[in-house]
Amino acid sequence: MPDVTTAPPYLHQRFPELAESLPHVRLGASPTPVRKLDGLGSHGRIWLKDDSRFGSGGWGGNKVRKLEWIIPDVLAHKSKRIITVGGLGTNWGLATALYAKQFGIDTALALIDQPVDDHVRAQLARLQRSGAVLHFTRSKVRTFACAPWLMIRHMKGGRMPYYLPPGGSSPIGALGYVEAALELAAQVQAGEIPEPAHIVAPVGSGGTVAGLLLGLRLAGLRTGVVAVVVNDTLPLGDREIRDLAGRTESLLRQRGADLGDVDLRSAGLTVTREYLGPGYGYATAEGRAAQRVGSEFGIPLDPVYTAKAFAGLLEIDAHTRGGDGPIVMLDTFGPRPD
């Protein structure tokens, strides 16, 4: 079992009534650091929130924040196995397999084709070592057709597996980034970073940005969310992200949180597909250029997610005026040495 700190999550501190109704397990050290990227950009206002450091197991990043809330829900349902979906190089699937097994939970993955490069080959090798059962279902259509068989095939102890959508982007999973937004607000209050104008994040399944959108409103920050879409296999527009944020808000209220008035309709959200390129998993020239810039500042970026988001951030900085507060890159990529 991972080490658990005694500090309660910010969600429980802010809404003590959730401590029993929405349990949490600590899988990583928080808060993750924020730092100004001095010398980068035209206005000197680019910052990094380094969630690549989050996670104490064999993989880190934003997926682990989601699992801190998902795993207790799996245990509450007395499920013995998770079944979920991802691409051949899925960070989500790997994190799920590595962390769930620490709680006696098995993982089965339905894997959909994506362009295969060195990054994907290395990730597939990690998946094969993780202990997860891998099903190469190839396409969304075949995955959907196989779903009933996969659910029955992976029954354990007389119980159906706990199904998780791609990226863990359920209302429970989105709580990971409600928590991260409250954490950022605490860092603003402590004077570690000025209140950001924007926080930029890649969007592969929507849970991270939906959680941020809700969490920033709960925290009272005016920070806008810029969602850089990197996945063309799921509907990931303004409506879908706000809908998930709304369902997460409803979950918190159902579990007893007194949220007061929350107006998600006016929450600042910009969704862009400009940096997607040919589709999910395809590297882009802008992404490769962003990787080179990132390496100069000690930020490893992956070609599928964070390089595209960083490319978007650099262009936002170049085309907006200074003086409006930091633009924060949320680094969600969390590799660990093999």
Average pLDDT over residues 205-223: 97
Output the pTM of the full model. 0.95
Is the predicted pLDDT of residue 240 greater than 60, yes or no?
Answer: yes
From CA 52, how far away is CA 180, in angstroms rounded?
13
Is the predicted pLDDT of residue 266 greater than 80, yes or no?
Answer: yes
Q: What is the pLDDT of residue 43?
A: 85
pLDDT class for 1, splitting at 50, 70, 90? very low
Q: What is the pLDDT of residue 6?
A: 60
Q: What is the pLDDT of residue 4?
A: 38
Q: What is the pLDDT of residue 323?
A: 67
Q: What is the pLDDT of residue 320?
A: 78
Q: What is the pLDDT of residue 63?
A: 97
Span 279-307, pLDDT tens digits: 999 999 999 999 999 999 999 999 999 99
Span 146-165, pLDDT tens digits: 999 999 999 988 899 999 99
Is the predicted pLDDT of residue 3 greater than 50, yes or no?
Answer: no
Q: What is the pLDDT of residue 198?
A: 96
Q: Average pLDDT of the chain?
A: 94
Give the bridge partners for 270, in sequence order.
226
Per cent of the chain over pLDDT 70 is 97
Q: What is the pLDDT of residue 322?
A: 63
Is the predicted pLDDT of residue 271 greater than 60, yes or no?
Answer: yes
Q: What is the pLDDT of residue 324?
A: 79
Span 38-93, pLDDT tens digits: 999 888 999 999 999 999 888 999 999 999 999 999 999 999 999 999 999 999 99
Tokens describing residue 233: 């296999």
